[in-house]
């Protein structure tokens, strides 16, 4: 059974403590006295690290050390006086990426020489895609989950609208208008939705828990939406994508019914783009019928197994 350790470290915003969780494999799962690899999970918007507890425990049972942090404005990384969904005032997109990197460095210092894999879901997938362009040489593999592809023009238009709202309401304003603008089409492929969050999973218990969880059921601020759109826009920049190491193993995994990925076309577009940029070790895995959170879907055991096998194959090539 994995041991959980919670701790904090300083955010790159210069004022907030970032909450992090570490899942440590049992001693009998580490026959060589150390984990076979480190897996860092980057969570999405309006959630937090401990939502990945089941998956993290599964990986820890395979001898992998798992770490994850709550982004600024999420979980236990919310500074007193700030609302949920508020990141920071100065360049929040970069700060989120650097907070992920700081946790990676802290963990690597404690476990030198251990292979390192990053997994990013949803907003975390865009954090990861930015991370790869900046720090990709320091990791051994990346799994991009629940991602999408959008035009730079659409991101620019979205940012203009968000900035207008911010000019009147302020950067810490939680905007139902902007949220509706972003999510309004997400239920369009579901015949008889019961809740506004049915798009995240076919598992109704997962959806119900998400809706009832106060650490998930908040509206993003203007600042948070600007950070998200900036992360997305930067991830589309071909000049930045060319900085990703050509031989880095990358897996893109998504559900065919994920609206964030435009029902399959977004992950396919990213896959095609990476291949065109000579990222030849990129693979694409689509799960038929699965919605946004493939790690919380009715076929999650299949997803767990597939992601583990992919990581194991990466480790085999290293060793």
Per the structure, the count of domains in the chain is: 1
CATH code of the domain covering residue 140:
3.40.50.1820
Distance, CA of 59 to CA of 57 (rounded, Å): 5
The one-character DSSP state at 291 is -
Residues 229-244: tens digit of each pLDDT: 999 999 999 999 999 9
Look at residue 204 and tell me whether its pLDDT is greater than 80. Answer: yes
Residues 245-275: tens digit of each pLDDT: 999 999 999 999 999 999 999 999 999 999 9
| pLDDT value of position 6 | 98
Look at residue 1 and tell me whether its pLDDT is greater than 90. Answer: no
Q: What is the mean pLDDT of the chain?
A: 97
Q: Give the residue numbers spanning the domain of 32.
A: 3-318
Distance, CA of 114 to CA of 119 (rounded, Å): 16
pTM of the model: 0.98
State the DSSP string of 114-145: --EEEEEETHHHHHHHHHHHHHGGG-SEEEEE
* Contacts (Cβ under 8 Å, ≥6 apart) of 28: none
Q: Is 293 helix (H, G, I), strand (E, B) or coil?
A: coil
Can you tell me the mean pLDDT for 146-164?
Answer: 96
Angstrom distances, CA of residue 207 to CA of 5, 42, 198, 203 = 27, 20, 6, 7
């Amino acid at each position: 059974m994995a041991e959980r350790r919670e701790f904090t470290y300083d955010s790159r915003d210069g004022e907030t403590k970032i909450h992090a969780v570490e899942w440590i494999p049992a001693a009998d799962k580490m026959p060589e006295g150390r984990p076979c690899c480190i897996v860092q999970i980057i969570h999405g918007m309006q959630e937090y690290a401990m939502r990945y507890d089941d998956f993290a425990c599964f990986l820890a049972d395979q001898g992998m050390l798992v770490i994850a942090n709550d982004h600024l404005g999420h979980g236990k990384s919310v500074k007193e006086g700030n609302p949920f969904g508020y990141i920071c005032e100065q360049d929040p997109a970069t700060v989120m990426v650097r907070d992920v990197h700081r946790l990676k460095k802290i963990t690597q210092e404690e476990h030198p020489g251990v292979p390192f894999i990053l997994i990013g879901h949803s907003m975390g997938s865009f954090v990861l895609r930015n991370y790869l362009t900046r720090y990709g040489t320091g990791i051994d593999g990346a799994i991009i989950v629940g991602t999408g592809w959008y035009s730079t023009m659409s991101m620019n238009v979205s940012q203009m609208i968000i900035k207008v709202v911010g000019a009147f309401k302020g950067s810490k304003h939680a905007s139902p208008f902007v949220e509706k603008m972003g999510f309004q089409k997400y239920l369009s492929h579901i015949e008889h939705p019961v809740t506004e969050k049915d798009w995240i999973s076919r598992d109704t218990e997962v959806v119900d828990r998400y809706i009832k969880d106060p650490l998930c059921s908040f509206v993003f601020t203007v600042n948070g939406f600007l950070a998200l759109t900036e992360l997305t826009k930067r991830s589309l920049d071909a000049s930045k994508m060319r900085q990703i190491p050509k031989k880095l193993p990358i897996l893109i995994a998504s559900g065919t019914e994920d609206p964030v990925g435009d029902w399959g076309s977004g992950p396919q577009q990213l896959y095609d783009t990476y291949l065109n940029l000579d990222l030849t070790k990129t693979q694409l895995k689509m799960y038929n019928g699965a919605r946004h959170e493939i790690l919380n879907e009715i076929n999650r055991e299949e997803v767990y197994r597939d992601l583990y096998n992919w990581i194991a194959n990466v480790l085999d090539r290293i060793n």
